[in-house]
Amino acid sequence: MNTEKKVRTRIAPSPSGYLHIGTARTSLFCYLYAKKLKGEFIVRIEDTDKSRTEKKYEDDILDGLEWLGLKYDELYRQSERTDVYVKKLQELVESDKAYISKEKAKDDDVREVEVVRLRNPNTMLTFTDTIRGEITFDTTELGDFVIARSKTDPLYHFAVVVDDALMDITHVIRGDDHISNTPRQILILEACGFERPQYTHLPMILAPDRSKMSKRKGAVAVTEYRAQGFLPSAIINYLALLGWNGGTEKEIYSMEELVQDFSLDHLQKSGAVFDIEKLKWFNKEHRKLIPKESLTRDLKAQLEGNTGILEALERSPKAVEDLLERFSTWAELKEAVATGEYDFYEKLPVLEKDMLAWKKDPNPERMKDRLHKILELIGSVDTTTFTYENVKGAVWAYAETEGKGGVLWPMRVALSGKERSPDPFILAEALGKEETITRLNEAYTLYL
């Protein structure tokens, strides 16, 4: 018979804010470890502090986990478990591992309260952390610390320990800001006669300046990344590599691959810097894994209302590719569209002679000739097969003999009216033959 205990991990967020990117990473590691070992991943909402918790945050956390694909096997709320804690507290007092102490209330000198204190054995306590190894702590420093404000009002550490034990948590994986809580929690656990879980304290995720991540330094909530249009699979992949590596060069992972490869042995000791550019790169890479049709549909959905761009995308697969290559997120794309970067798909550009000339070439005769020639070459391409390749095929040889910039620059500016835009063949395919000719003619007449 297999006597090994089933692996059970848990994430214990307090619903006092939106799902934090750090909590998401801890959840991911808990999830991966549990799933790898065919165990269970549990969510325990630590909502006992009524003044700090809100239902909307709990909803956001659970919704965010689901969106990321971190499916939990069980869900608990500490606020629904007071009876369990009170019973355990009573047992501790009865066995004299803890005692009731009449004390003056902290907030007022007259009122007396009956707090519960743990009998501290005052020893050197050693525990093993997966990442840091043995950590020894002199518990004398803690004194007989308070574990409940009253016989019916247990404090945080007590609830955590009771929950972890009664929920059969085998591995406590959490942020290393909880290392200092561990000795206190182990003392409670030993007083209760519970078994120790294996502790893994993950180094923090840091802002680029290596300080703590904070709202001032960028988005910290998963929901903000979701709103910007990041794919959950990209966020998962990026978070996995923030503090873990598979021991190879492999960078792109699906959730299934992560489950397969994950282990607690490859966790890094130092804090991991959150790099938004890297996350954007992952987003682009994960987009490539989505079937083209459905990705194009998503792209178009983002551009609803921008008729000209939508028509251009309808005509031109190259224009679709161009947008996907240029923008890592939908938010970036929408921002560019809103600021008019793509208005040449919506309306005729206003042309400036100065801009049309390659390297400000002041020779009007040459410009006139070139535009004339481009018009002639493009005119020969059939309307129904006015594709990127065919337009390029028609103009390319001429551009090479004249010098590419001297031909492609004015062609591109004539079509877009901008110093920066997609290349002229993309523009031509996206605008269609008629519009392309109209715009080139428009440029040509400036030189008549």
Pairwise CA distance, residues 286 & 308, whole Å = 28
- Interaction of residue 182 with ligand GLU, rule CB under 6 A: no
Q: Which stretch binds ligand GLU (CB under 6 A): 12-20, 91-99, 259-267, 356-364?
A: 12-20
Q: Within 10 Å of residue 227's Cβ, how many Cβ atoms?
A: 13
Instruction: Compare residues 35 and 174 and give the one whose CB is closer to ligand GLU.
Output: 174
CB of residue 244 to ligand GLU, shortest distance in Å: 18
Q: Which two tokens stand for residue 366?
A: 């040459």
CB of residue 46 to ligand GLU, shortest distance in Å: 4
Name the residue whose CB lies closest to ligand GLU: 174
Cα distances (angstroms) measured from residue 49 to each of 54, 78, 87, 146: 10, 10, 20, 17
CB 226 within 8 A of CB 283: no
- Strand partners of residue 20: 221
Instruction: Compare residues 16 and 254 and give the one whose CB is closer to ligand GLU.
Output: 16
With CB under 6 A as the contact rule, the residue among 28, 115, 160, 430 that binds ligand GLU is 160
Using DSSP, state whether 273 is helix, strand or coil: strand
- Interaction of residue 436 with ligand GLU, rule CB under 6 A: no
- Interaction of residue 12 with ligand GLU, rule CB under 6 A: yes
Pairwise CA distance, residues 146 & 116, whole Å = 6
- Strand partners of residue 43: 11, 75
Is 215 considered catalytic here? yes
Q: Provide the terminal-to-terminal Cα distance of the chain, rounded to the nearest Å.
A: 93
Contacting ligand GLU within 35-64 (CB under 6 A): 46
Amino acid at 352: E
Instruction: Compare residues 14 and 329 and give the one whose CB is closer to ligand GLU.
Output: 14
With CB under 6 A as the contact rule, the residue among 35, 171, 174, 318 that binds ligand GLU is 174
Instruction: Compare residues 179 and 336 and give the one whose CB is closer to ligand GLU.
Output: 179
Instruction: Compare residues 158 and 425 and give the one whose CB is closer to ligand GLU.
Output: 158
CA max distance for the chain: 102
Instruction: Number of residues interacting with ligand GLU: please give it, by CB under 6 A.
Output: 8
- Interaction of residue 189 with ligand GLU, rule CB under 6 A: no
- What is the CA angle 85-86-92, rounded to 5? 90
Q: How many residues does the chain have?
A: 448
In the set 87, 215, 269, 288, the catalytic residue is 215
Q: Which two tokens stand for residue 299?
A: 């792209």
- Interaction of residue 151 with ligand GLU, rule CB under 6 A: no
Q: Residue 155: phi, psi to the nearest 5?
A: -90, 170
- Interaction of residue 163 with ligand GLU, rule CB under 6 A: no
Q: Residue 108: phi, psi to the nearest 5?
A: -155, 135
Instruction: Compare residues 13 and 271 and give the one whose CB is closer to ligand GLU.
Output: 13
Q: Annotated active-site positions, please?
A: 215
Q: Which residues bind ligand GLU (CB under 6 A)?
A: 12-14, 46, 160, 174-175, 178
